[in-house]
Structure 1
Amino acid sequence: MEVFAALIPLFMMFIFIGIYLAIIGVCIWVVITFLKRQKERNETLQEIANHLKSIQIVNKEE
């Protein structure tokens, strides 16, 4: 019985360490996902900017 009572804090420690690592993992995943989406948006905006550069704007003459 004493051995089991001694293992309870050890199990609790492993559970808390696991939760801590899971939180850190989720934070890293969110940051990586955010950066990938921003990179995709920047590439799309760069393509749009390149297309707009190639279009010749004609002004109305009054």
Structure 2
Amino acid sequence: MLYWALIFLIVALVAGLLGFGGIASASAGIAQILFFVFLVLFLVAVVLRIMRGRAP
């Protein structure tokens, strides 16, 4: 998921440099959503790992 967020960020940067504002804005929005979804899933996994404790 983080990989796709980086891809959309790169697409947004390239589109912004070339003057395609609409595509850049949409790609940046998608990248932001994917990053926050990744962040939430990562934090949930960390919390579950902490709650689970060490494996015997």
Common topology (TM > 0.5):
yes
Give the TM-score normalised by the residue count of structure 2. 0.60
Give the TM-score normalised by the residue count of structure 1. 0.55
Ranges in structure 1 where 5+ consecutive residues have no aligned partner: 44-62
Identity fraction in percent: 11
Give the greater-gyration-radius structure (CA).
Answer: 1
Match of 1:57 in 2: none
Runs of 4+ in 1 over 2 A off after TM superposition: none
Higher relative contact order (Cα pairs below 8 Å, separated by 6+ residues): 2
Coordinate RMSD, CA, aligned: 1.7
Ranges in structure 2 where 5+ consecutive residues have no aligned partner: 1-17
Deviations 1:17-46 (A, max 9, x none): 000000000000010000000000xx5xxx
